[in-house]
Chains A and B, each alone.
Chain A
């Protein structure tokens, strides 16, 4: 099983700042099958990034994904108030298709 470790657990920033979230895998993820999701309280997760770096439909370009192998990053430039949420990464290269534990992005 591929274990995903997200860091930090909590990130405190102000609107307008940039955010960098990390997702590290215990084994290389095939074909960069790594997705990022945003989840707000009481809502279902929303797909942001798939294939490590492709933005999903309707996702603003301030969200970007990068990385390969075992190290992946979600970058949010110029944080907007609506970006404060929990972010999850998931690998879907090999079953079981595991998730990271999540990073909470909170307003400083």
Chain B
């Protein structure tokens, strides 16, 4: 069974940093591109970033480019999202997903940016 488990969310002040992790199991992690998607409270889904199987190609939404970095460690079957210079409007549940335009998704981790 495919499982994705996000962690690392929490409360952070504006300008701060967090690193999210997504532990994957039940599939050959290195064979799949991976994606982060977020959902602000009461809002729709926003694609954040995707990474290729090798990690050599990364893609970002304009809203996070230059502040967020996606990476992966296939030896640990883990996907990461390093988030720097966080802003209030980064507040959201962050989901990791297998594939681009696919699934399944993890249950998400809440990031709250507030002073």
Contact = CB atoms under 8 A, between A and B. Distances in A.
B106 A47 contact: no
Contact of B44 (A34, A35, A97, A101): A101
User: Interface extent on A, as a size class?
Assistant: 20 to 34
Interface stretch (B8-16, B19-27, B97-105): B97-105
Nearest to A96: B61
B103 A47 contact: yes
B45 interface: yes
A34 B100 CA distance: 10
A47 B35 CA distance: 14
Contact of A97 (B95, B100, B105): B100
Kindly name the residue among A33, A43, A44 whose own CB sees the greatest number of chain B CB atoms within 10 A. A44
A99 B1 CA distance: 27
B29 to A, nearest CB: 18
A46 B104 contact: yes
Given A44-B95, A96-B61, A96-B62, A56 B103 contact: yes
B101 A99 contact: no
B32 interface: no
Contacts, number: 62
Contacts of B108: 44
A100 B100 CA distance: 15
A56 B103 CA distance: 9
Interface string A77-106: 000000000001011100111111110000
Interface in B25-57: 35, 37, 44-47, 50
B61 A47 contact: no
A59 B79 CA distance: 27
A35 B98 CA distance: 13
Nearest to A100: B44
A27 to B, nearest CB: 16
Interface of A: 33-35, 37, 39, 43-47, 50, 56, 88, 90-92, 95-102
